Homo-oligomer: A and B are copies of this chain.
């Protein structure tokens, strides 16, 4: 137990875990963080345990674990005596996803590289990029590229 008890404001907590107050409130709302104790005026105050917990969450998210996976990981880390098979299962599953995404992305890179390299810089009419997008036949791979999401 720290001497200070619950003395950290939401802004300070967010700063320590490198996120924003809105995110902290969001995690509370969806039940990743417990309801904070409040001041007389209704503001949230946290202790060091909350800093650790939020740091764990942010780091797991940073690893790409979904919020639901983080929820499970948290539940398990709260049960230190349990065997860690499930933890391992979640991490392994996640690793597989990362690996398959990597594979599809590297196919995509090749395809895009080819497109860009072959574009002679003339008119749209004869643009290789437009051609390849128009005609799947021109792709190296038969299959789809996996719809590489959220790359802007």
Which has the most chain B C-beta neighbours within 10 Å: A109, A144, A152?
A152
One of B63, B122, B123, B149 near A108 (C-beta < 8 A)? B63
**A64 contacts the other chain (CB 8 A):** yes
Cα(A131)–Cα(B73), bound, Å: 11
Beta-carbon contacts under 8 Å, A102-152 to B:
102, 105-106, 108-109, 111-113, 115-116, 119, 121-125, 127, 129-130, 133-134, 136, 144-152
Known A-B contacts A94-B112, A112-B98, A145-B63; A77 and B134 likewise in contact (beta carbons under 8 Å) = yes
Of A22-30, A39-47, A81-89, the one contacting chain B is A81-89
Question: How far is A60 from B135 in the complex, measured between Cα atoms in Å?
Answer: 10
Binary CB contact string for chain A from 32 to 60 against chain B (1 if under 8 A, 0 otherwise): 00000000000000000000100110011
